[in-house]
Chains A and B, each alone.
Chain A
Amino acid sequence: MKASIGGYTRAETVSHALSLLAEANGAGRLLAGGQSLIAALNLGTTSGDMLIDIAGIGALRGARIDGNRLIIGALTRHADIASDPLIAEHAPLLAKAAPLVAHDAIRNRGTIGGSLAYADPAAEYPACAIALDATIILEGPNGTRQVAAQDFFLGLFETARADDEILAAIAVPMAADGERHVIREAARRSGDYALAGLAVVRRDGRHRIGAFALGDRPLLCEGAMAALDGGDIDGAVAALATDVDPTSDTQASAAYRRHLAGVLLRRIAIDLGVG
């Protein structure tokens, strides 16, 4: 179908975008790469939006080091996440996740901020953000707000971002020596949304597991994490089955998704040399 929108404008700066959001009086919708939003408009799941195109705000693009954190601007595209040497060194999980996001043509325009703000439960970055214990940086009329990734994702396409705020960046603790990052997913076609996926970080001998496509939001799998810390793979797989909360749809049943999660965890344990 064709997109039906209420209007379009371009924001020059973050503060300009915030004033446009206020002007739109609740109908404002931030447009970055558009790779999810325009698909949603085409499918008619949203219409009449006042689009505020933020793609030209240079300050929101690219990665930089700030103390012991890597700050990645919201407008950094998937293709840049996959190729940026700073991200490969300090947040390898994201560099490994980026090639799994859709296809070449979509990675050339889609952004990490867009993916995080859209909060599709089957998307890779939200689960990575949770596994990395990252922080989401929001800009609003009352200044900057930082929200732990774990507290940011509230439900299906629902986040802690207020309607008058912009997701400006994600801050990731820089990977220490010996830290291990692994992401695996199962999809029907390479690049399609995952039927099940796990992003795992091992930091100082402890594991953090973010699950995607296994619930209404990215899930931190604490039962499986504790078992994996103790080197108990079978226990971790058993715990994972209760950590996750998948639903059945036309792509896969809940039982099949749960089974896939266990298979992925066993493969990741082999990747990590656990057990």
Chain B
Amino acid sequence: MNQSSRASTFIMVLYLIFLLLPIYWLVNMSLKTNFEINTTVSLWPRDLTFEHYIKIFTDASWYTGYINSLTYVVLNTIISISLALPAAYAFSRYTFVGDKHLFFWLLSNRMAPPAVFALPFFNLYSAIGLFDTPWAVALAHCLFNVPLAVWILEGFMSGVPREIDETAAIDGYSFPRFFVKIFMPLIASGIGVAAFFCFMFSWVELLLARTLTATNAKPIAVTMTRTVSAAGMDWGLLAAAGVLTIIPGALVIWFVRNYIAKGFALGRV
């Protein structure tokens, strides 16, 4: 037993080092001057500098990218969760005409390649005048986030015994009141996990976000790709912008860390 637990620790430590090494290198680079990056390969910054971070926080063309990204991510999470809650309840509690086909069709949209949708979305959102607004990206990301939220919430809701619904009905609760007052607190962790996943997949997506925005709603990911190619290769600035995109994710993980394993199994363990 002792020997196998030592082997486990060894594997785990190796794996965590493998995960952290590239991130360490990114942080390391963001704290170096471009001169040092281009001339030497050093394991820590010899000439520590925060100039790249200062530039990002003072230059509007950089920090508005973060604001734009967070705007559509939050909009998308709110839309996805509020639409998915009643639908997931219906799937977990009732049998109805076409339910299995509908569930599969929803699921298949989670799997559809965004590259297929890039051009038609561009046409669609230009036609209805939402192009280059956070709403366009928030609605476009619903394509995969709404099905995902339904899938996760359905898993968590199926874990709540149906007797609770019946007892509440006997006690005279109307359906909306029962849903908000009794049912939602019971699946609070499920809602948290679903919100986490919507946040995650909307935050990391680039292709649709890039296609649907031009200047006003440009997300940070696009600012990174465009500015960098235009200004030669400003590695230090690129690295600092990268580090700052990791932070929101890390904060969100911290809040859901206790549910993360169950959440990744989409409430189906």
A and B are interacting partners: no
